[in-house]
Amino acid sequence: MISDLLLFVLLPCVLLGLAVAYAPMSIFDRYVLRKFSTLFLAAFSFEVALILTVRLSDRELGSIFLDENASLADAFKLFALHAPARVMEVVPYAGILGAFLTMGSLLRANEITAFRASGTNLLRLVASIAIFTFACCVISLVFTDRIVAPATHAAAQMGQTRKIESDQHIVYRESGGALCFIAQLNVASGSAYKLTFYEMNGGELRNEIYARTAGWTDTSWELNGGWQRRYDGNGRSSFEAFTLLHRPLDTDPATLIAAASKPEEMTFAELREVIAFKRRAGFPVRREIVRFHHNIAYSFALLVGVLLAVPLSLQFGRFALAAGFPATMLISFVYWGLAIATFEAMGENGRIPPSSAAWIGNVVFACVAALLLRAVKR
């Protein structure tokens, strides 16, 4: 996780900062980008410090300090594991606040008036900020996948007796229609206990296989110490015990373990595997689909928020600087209530398509931003 943080997050951030400082661009673009990137970073640092101090100290740290068996090291480890998810929460709002502060600073110094007087199209200002923000969205997307999901999963395992490599009472449907029940599965040791397979034909049970223990290869189950009962459909059956029986492996056991995790603990690759597995097994997958699209849509909410805040701050004129904080809070509450609490919940409940639920908030805010940008163009 540390290597991923250095390689996929910190290094791209450094390269983006160097691009703002030294990449060939006009004086106007460089000036605006430096101001925006500086104020965005300041707003981001302020909001991260605030949310880590208030939310984590109150919830995560407070809960673990109530545990008599918890150590100070456990408390700070839990703090560190929850921190990436909390940091990701404030990224769009830091962009909105940074945009308000940038435009308010330019308006208060009459620099916007000077840009207009020189014939400079203000959409150029929006374009340069949008390109920078898009790069930040890509970094946020990678951060969500490579850092937030593994850290959230590790935090969920703290204090649990069940290891992340094992699970109990697994039920799933194979691609051929057979039902499988596994009393206990341990990926770390490569073993499973008390497996039962029910093979159906036309709604009738035709074959039942039970094994006390099992291992697996890349292609098959190795069932040990069990029996097989076949039904002919006329009320007759045949019974046969076996010492070793090979059965085709329909699903990677690691996927069965991953399916037991919460969607917010999964990477994009794990979500895709679990969605495919659950669809094949006949299980509902709305929560996983909503989460998959949420991770993408929320990363790009930064771009949508900035594109909304830049023209909106121009509408406030010289009061944009003072309006920055309340406007950011209002937009944050509306976006969270609209996109997360309402539409994503409706997607998980099946009232709207789960693949569209996470994007509705972005689309609505993008439409409002487009109307405001059209007014700026005029």
Instruction: Check if the beta carbon of residue 350 is closer than 8 Å to that of residue 364.
Output: no
What are the tens digits of pLDDT across the range 84-117? Answer: 998 999 999 999 999 999 999 988 888 888 887 7
93: containing domain: 2-160+288-377
Q: Which two tokens mark 316?
A: 């406030």
| DSSP category for residue 177 | S
Residue 88 has a pLDDT of 93
In a domain, 170, yes or no: no
Return the C-alpha torsion angle 91, 97, 99, 101, nearest 10: -140
Nearest to 312 by CA among 132, 95, 136: 95
Residue 99 has a pLDDT of 94
Residues 140 and 192 in one domain: no
Q: Which two tokens mark 67?
A: 């545990």
What are the tens digits of pLDDT across the range 143-168? Answer: 999 999 999 888 877 755 445 567 78
In a domain, 359, yes or no: yes
Give the span between the Cα atoms of 55 and 85, in whole angstroms: 12
Residue 169 has a pLDDT of 81
Residue 242 has a pLDDT of 93
What are the tens digits of pLDDT across the range 347-366? Answer: 999 899 999 999 999 999 99
Letter for the amino acid at 77? K
Residues 153 and 65 in one domain: yes
Give the three-state DSSP class for 109: coil
Tracing tokens 């999964």 back to the chain, one arrives at: 266
Residue 68 has a pLDDT of 58
Residue 161 has a pLDDT of 43
Mean pLDDT check: name the lowest of 164-178, 211-225, 295-309: 164-178
Residues 106 and 206 in one domain: no
Residues 156 and 302 in one domain: yes
Q: Which of 238, 262, 283 is the last residue of a domain?
A: 283
Q: Does 59 have pLDDT greater than 60?
A: no
In a domain, 169, yes or no: no
Average pLDDT on 50-69 reads 63
Instruction: Check if the beta carbon of residue 210 is closer than 8 Å to that of residue 224.
Output: no
Residue 58 has a pLDDT of 58
Residue 297 has a pLDDT of 94
Give backbone dihedrals phi and psi of 219, rounded to 5 degrees, phi first: -120, -15
Give the span between the Cα atoms of 112 and 171, in whole angstroms: 63
Residue 164 has a pLDDT of 58
Question: Which sign, positive or negative, has the C-alpha torsion 362, 363, 368, 371?
Answer: positive
- Tally of structural domains, the chain: 2
Residue 162 has a pLDDT of 46
User: Which residue(s) pair with 239 in the sheet?
Assistant: 229
- H or E element in which residue 222 lies: strand 220-231
Letter for the amino acid at 229? R
In a domain, 61, yes or no: yes
Q: Does 237 have pLDDT greater than 70?
A: yes
Sheet holding 166-173, edge to edge: 166-173, 179-186, 191-201, 204-216, 220-231, 237-248
What pTM was computed for the model? 0.83
Residues 137 and 218 in one domain: no
